[in-house]
Structure 1
Amino acid sequence: MTITSIPSLSPRYWPMWWRVTILLNISFYNMMGNVFAAGISPFFGLLIQEFHCSPEQASRLASYALLALGLSNLLALPTVEYLGKRYTILTSMVIFLGANIWAGKAQSYNSLLGSRFVAGLANGSIEALGPLIVSECFHEHQLARAMVVYVGFLAAGSAVGPIVAGGIASGLNNWRWFFYVSAIAIVVNLISAILMLPETTHTPNDYSPNGLSPTPEREKDGSSHDEDTTERGITISSSAQENQSLKSLWLKRSFTTRFLHGKKKENPVKLFLQPFPMFLAPPVLITTIVFGLTIGWTVLTSIVVSNVYVAAPYLWKSWQIGLINFGPLVGLSIGLPLGGLTADMLSKAALKRSHGEHDPRSRLPALVLGGLISPSGCLVIGYTLERDLHWIGAAVGWGMVAFGLTASANVLLAYTVDCFRMRAGHVGVLVNVAKNALGFGVSFASMNWYYSTGPATQFGTMAGLLWAGYLCVIPLYIYSHSLVRFSERILRL
């Protein structure tokens, strides 16, 4: 049913189809950054042959893209202060599109390396802004489901990129078409974002359907009973002063700059440094560690598996290297309902038991299964490579590691964003800087570590570190309220 009248609603009360479209737009763009960064690996042989570079130089094409993605997160919030989220993302999409075309036309190794660094700097902004936009658009009982879509797309890019690249390398024997196909996808994403990615910043004129300003206190008390009305498209009556059509709301949020004015701009250096004190908050620190390790071990596994199976005695072709990435893709897919729907069901059940008092930690029990399976996947990979077993063991183990991203790491991210909604952008910056920094580091050290200690010791150490991270969640669950209050006090939130 068409909405004919709607108040100047907080984004959390916009029609569900609009919020889902926003979620898909930012999630797809986030995925494309990881497709770009990880998809280069099946082309190493072609690139070495064309540019006469060493294998180490070829691997840096992936490493420096990850580094640029991480650095870009630090620039996102200062840029948003002056351009707003919508125009920051649209500008980054245009630059990212240009960098993909540049990569496809590169005639030298240095030119290709430069294009990948620029693309990483452009795309990284969405990693920082994604959790912030999700928290602005979805209520507490929907947060984990929305966040698991975002995290699922993010992680899927690392698997989809090599799968697509492997097919292109095998079918066309030409690495350039990978970037042209990527550019086409970005154009579609850009058009969709121009039309359906409005500015989601909360303003003093935003109202909830009952006419009350959506303050954090009211949002935390679970009072979202009017939300279903907007989702079904029924006309809403409100005591708010400003009533307007959905069309005018869309035009105002999408094609005006009024949200960039009306408040004093913060110092960009201050905004650059602002996220780092959040490391003092135990929920943020533990989330960063678990999320960063899970992503880092996924990247390391990709590098190790690719290098092991492309060498003698296996001598796999590019398409075979691409297809083994179906392992983590399946693991991510299986984890989606556990890290999304199950976590939100636990949150809603706890809300009913507590008579409407929302508790972010109620989601945390959902991560137990992922916390057991994901580190175990490291052991499966290490044992498979150590004993030279069938490659399916490595694929299954890799899927188990990736399962932890959507089944458990996502739950921690949703919990932390829920605890610090007013600092969701800072949480996004820290988590993504950590994961990209770790990914950059392991991309350099992974094979040296593999050859010096052997796969069993390497992957066993990885499993132990990841389990240690998950053990830290136990005191986080038990003392959640005290730790959040402590964090708010020392950070003056």
Structure 2
Amino acid sequence: MDLPAAENHADMMDSKASATYGEKVSDNAPINPKLDPHGFPLRPQPTSDPLDPLNWPYWLKLAVLLQVSFLAFLGPFCQAVINSAFVPLAKDLHISVVVASYNTTIAILFAGVSPILWSPIANVYGRRPIFLAVSALGIAAQCAAGAAPTWGGILAARAFVGMGTSAGMGIGAAVVADMFFMHERGRYMGIYIVFVTNGAHIAAVVGGYTALNHSLGWRWCYWIPAMILAGTWVLMLFCLPETLYHRDNKTGESHMHHQQQRQTHRAWLSLLTFRGVPIKRKLQLWDFTHVFLMLKYPSVLLSTLYYAVSFGLGSVLFAVTGAKAFGSIYHFNTAQIGLCIGLSTFIGTLIGELLAGPVSDRILYLSTKRSGGAFRPEARLQAIWPGALLLPAGVIIEGVCLQYRTHWSGPVLGIGIGAFGLQIISTNIFAYVTDCYKPQSAEISTLLNLGRQTFSFTLGFYMIPFAAATTWGVAWSVMAVIQAVLFGGVVLLMWRGKEWRERLGAPEFDRDL
């Protein structure tokens, strides 16, 4: 394998880095940069501090990744376990199945909006305090939903469920960017995305069997997630270290006043004390606008629009309409509905990830090698093509099969194909945008979550009425065409993304992260 020598690339990489994208070769400009396995300078360059998350041993990185990914999984899981039980819930509370779906959509909406608050706080005070505090709210809200005697009380509690289960979904991708280098980010971001995407899918299976069990009933669709979230909270309390790490771009120093102490303790032992983040500045009202300031960058705006609609159609559409579709057409019970939705999407996303993160990282490496060492994040977008074709195809297949009442395996196959395509799209979008603006990864993660949740929130209100007014095939095909058209924005980024980034420059805030 051809390994370019570091001395032939270091100067070129440093001179091109800030012009290419916001993630520099090195904030501290080392004379001899550390290299990735291919011989290119690592992006970003780690400091000499053993507590820099980039320097952590891989067992610790993976342990943190799995904790944060599972917390992100619990967001859609807690919101969607009730989905398979809409019919018995509606019967007991004397409401329609469509109205019962508001149970999930209100949680989705608040889960999308609330990370706008968590992101700036996490950038100042750390990720760990937000994960713990917000999850505690989620546990209390889930219990309140399970105990609420009225429909209005359940809806109010579910709004707080959305807020309390949003931290992992809203800023989890920032933790991945905190710990992993650019050349490996696709693979590990893909692991995180698998958890995020499958939360609602596994929820369908769990909710279906829970609601079918007469000794439990639909209220246990609230209690079971509350118990799982509480167990996760205890695990994080004792096992989740802080990943936020400030780097001083001007002086090349990174917490030098802590270096003597850090050199006398092993890094893992220091981490287990759950050190706080040195407060570099005060939280300001202006910080809460940073999420929206990122929308001026085409790489963020176009990616967010495409991802939001893709996630809604490739995951949430199946979840919020499954009870009605498979219940009325195939007369399935709640357990069967859960299996149809949950297993097909779960298998589709797992297979899709085989063609997502690893392929994305490989394409990025080959592009870098061809260009003589110049990293271009837009290379990752080439890996989206299979997903861009398969996701709308899967949506159309499900809609047409439901319209013509084919064998139940037809719509199930369409769901699986759609989930396969969504996983490819999601992993590459997250990896691409964080490559472009790594220091602002918390804002980017929040914005992608906001787009995903806001669009998904609307589907429960109009998709079933849309299908009733037209047909399942027409309604699903219209949405698939809209999603396919938005891929044009990604194609524009492949063509002009690098030029736009260089013209606009990097954001001024959070540059030391």
Common topology (TM > 0.5)? yes
Pick from 441, 449, 453 the counterpart of residue 436 of structure 1.
Answer: 453
Q: Cα distance, 1:449 vs. partner? A: 1.3
Q: Cα distance, 1:78 vs. partner? A: 3.4
CA contact (8 A) 2:306 2:490 kept: no
Tell me the distance in 1 between the aligned counterparts of 2:494 and 2:123: 34
Give deviations 1:278-308, integer Å, cap 9, x for gaps: 1121111121112111111131233333212
Pick from 232, 246, 249 the counterpart of residue 267 of structure 2.
Answer: 246
Tell me the distance in 2 between the aligned counterparts of 1:241 and 1:251: 13
Letter in 1 for 2:443: H
Which residue number in structure 2 is paired with residue 234 of structure 1?
A: none
Which residue number in structure 2 is paired with residue 113 of structure 1?
A: 155
Tell me the distance in 1 between the aligned counterparts of 2:232 and 2:312: 27
CA contact (8 A) 1:275 1:430 kept: yes
Tell me the distance in 1 between the aligned counterparts of 2:392 and 2:383: 16
Which residue number in structure 1 is paired with residue 219 of structure 2?
A: 176
Q: Is residue 69 of structure 2 the alignment partner of residue 52 of structure 1?
A: no
- Spell out the pairing of 1:60-139 with structure 2 (5 A cutoff): 60-81=102-123, 83-139=125-181
Give deviations 1:360-389, integer Å, cap 9, x for gaps: 222222111111111111221122122221
Give deviations 1:182-234, integer Å, cap 9, x for gaps: 2232233112212222111112489xxxxx869xxxxxxxxxxxxxxxxxxxx
Tell me the distance in 2 between the aligned counterparts of 1:213 and 1:134: 23
Tell me the distance in 2 between the aligned counterparts of 1:126 and 1:409: 16
Stretches of structure 1 lacking an aligned partner (at least 5 in a row) = 1-5, 207-211, 215-237
Tell me the distance in 1 between the aligned counterparts of 2:446 and 2:143: 27
Which residue number in structure 2 is paired with residue 403 of structure 1?
A: 420
Q: Cα distance, 1:131 vs. partner? A: 1.4
CA contact (8 A) 1:7 1:244 kept: no
Worse-matched range after superposition: 160-169 or 105-114: 105-114
Tell me the distance in 2 between the aligned counterparts of 1:51 and 1:467: 39
Pick from 321, 329, 332 the counterpart of residue 304 of structure 1.
Answer: 321
Tell me the secondary structure at the aligned position of residue 101 of structure 2: helix
Tell me the distance in 1 between the aligned counterparts of 2:409 and 2:370: 45
Which residue number in structure 2 is paired with residue 388 of structure 1?
A: 405
Worse-matched range after superposition: 82-91 or 132-141: 82-91
Q: Cα distance, 1:27 vs. partner? A: 0.9
Tell me the secondary structure at the aligned position of residue 300 of structure 1: helix
Letter in 1 for 2:110: A
Q: Cα distance, 1:50 vs. partner? A: 2.6
Tell me the distance in 2 between the aligned counterparts of 1:43 and 1:184: 19
Tell me the distance in 2 between the aligned counterparts of 1:397 and 1:314: 16
CA contact (8 A) 1:370 1:403 kept: yes
Q: Is residue 315 of structure 2 the alignment partner of residue 328 of structure 1?
A: no
Which residue number in structure 1 is paired with residue 63 of structure 2?
A: 21
Which residue number in structure 2 is paired with residue 224 of structure 1?
A: none
Worse-matched range after superposition: 416-425 or 96-105: 96-105
Q: Cα distance, 1:421 vs. partner? A: 0.4
How does the TM-score come out when normalised to structure 1?
A: 0.86
- Spell out the pairing of 1:268-417 with structure 2 (5 A cutoff): 269-297=285-313, 298-311=315-328, 314-325=330-341, 326-417=343-434
Tell me the secondary structure at the aligned position of residue 457 of structure 1: helix
Give deviations 1:99-152, integer Å, cap 9, x for gaps: 222222222222222221111111212222111111111001110111111111
CA contact (8 A) 2:262 2:270 kept: no
Letter in 2 for 1:185: I
In 2 relative to 1, CA 243–299 (structure 1 residues): closer, same or farther, beyond 3 Å? same
Tell me the distance in 2 between the aligned counterparts of 1:273 and 1:362: 30
Tell me the distance in 1 between the aligned counterparts of 2:186 and 2:205: 28
RMSD: 2.5
Tell me the secondary structure at the aligned position of residue 166 of structure 2: helix
Tell me the distance in 1 between the aligned counterparts of 2:310 and 2:345: 12
Q: Cα distance, 1:43 vs. partner? A: 1.5
Which residue number in structure 2 is paired with residue 40 of structure 1?
A: 82
Tell me the secondary structure at the aligned position of residue 479 of structure 1: helix
Letter in 1 for 2:179: C
Tell me the distance in 1 between the aligned counterparts of 2:184 and 2:264: 26
Give deviations 1:54-101, integer Å, cap 9, x for gaps: 334311111111111011121112332554210111111211122222
Q: Cα distance, 1:260 vs. partner? A: 4.8
In 2 relative to 1, CA 475–82 (structure 1 residues): closer, same or farther, beyond 3 Å? closer
Q: Cα distance, 1:33 vs. partner? A: 1.2
CA contact (8 A) 2:75 2:169 kept: no
Tell me the distance in 2 between the aligned counterparts of 1:63 and 1:251: 38
CA contact (8 A) 1:72 1:123 kept: no
How does the TM-score come out when normalised to structure 2?
A: 0.83
Tell me the distance in 1 between the aligned counterparts of 2:507 and 2:156: 41
CA contact (8 A) 2:123 2:244 kept: no
Q: Between the two proteins, what is the percent identity of the paired residues?
A: 25
In 2 relative to 1, CA 469–260 (structure 1 residues): closer, same or farther, beyond 3 Å? same
Which residue number in structure 1 is paired with residue 487 of structure 2?
A: 470
Letter in 2 for 1:320: Q
Give deviations 1:15-61, integer Å, cap 9, x for gaps: 11111111111111111110111221222222223323333431111
In 2 relative to 1, CA 156–91 (structure 1 residues): closer, same or farther, beyond 3 Å? same
Tell me the distance in 2 between the aligned counterparts of 1:351 and 1:309: 48
Tell me the distance in 2 between the aligned counterparts of 1:213 and 1:82: 18
**How many residues align structurally?**
455
CA contact (8 A) 2:135 2:167 kept: no
Tell me the distance in 1 between the aligned counterparts of 2:499 and 2:248: 33
In 2 relative to 1, CA 433–373 (structure 1 residues): closer, same or farther, beyond 3 Å? same
Tell me the distance in 2 between the aligned counterparts of 1:484 and 1:83: 29
Tell me the secondary structure at the aligned position of residue 321 of structure 2: helix
